[in-house]
Amino acid sequence: MLTFSIYKKAIIYYSSLVHIWWAVALLVDPASKDTLSIRAIHEIIPGYTIMCTVLFTSSFLPFIAMNIKHSLLGVLLLFPQQLILTQVAVWVMVNSFVAVSHGQMAQGIDYLFKVGFAFFHGWAIYIYHRDDG
């Protein structure tokens, strides 16, 4: 039976891989800047080169953090990734509410996934700090 420790790490590693994928997609194909998540990040990070750097950095910090035990530093290394996930979730929520208020169709499944994932990632960080810190 899997313990929550494995689930906690899986959530954090999965979000790292997603951010690496976004950065690679942005570097390889400039048209990917029109995807929902990358547009959300572009709202707070102006240039695409800077955004790729931030995405790569926030993606590799959790790999270091998962190997640091009993330290607040481990939690702080996870914080940039949480900020990106929260920014994307809030941006999707606001755009969905704006779309509905204008009589357009909101992106409901994407909205639920991004908000839920940001929540569970934050929960995994809390559990990581509670168990290991």
* 81-106 tens-digit pLDDT: 988 888 888 887 777 777 767 776 66
Per-domain residue ranges of the chain: 4-132
The rounded mean pLDDT for the chain is 79
**132 has a pLDDT exceeding 60:** no
Q: Look up the pTM and report it.
A: 0.76
What span, in angstroms and rounded, lies between the C-alpha atoms of 97 and 90?
11
- Reported confidence tier of residue 1, pLDDT bands at 50, 70, 90: very low
Residue 96 sits at φ, ψ, to 5 deg, of: -65, -45
Instruction: State mean pLDDT over 67-77.
Output: 80
pLDDT number for residue 36: 74
In this structure, what token pair is assigned to residue 53?
């750097």
Residue 116's nearest CA partner among 94, 89, 97, 91 is 89
Task: State which amino acid sits at residue 105.
Answer: M
Q: HSE (CB half, 13 Å, CA atoms) of 127?
A: 16
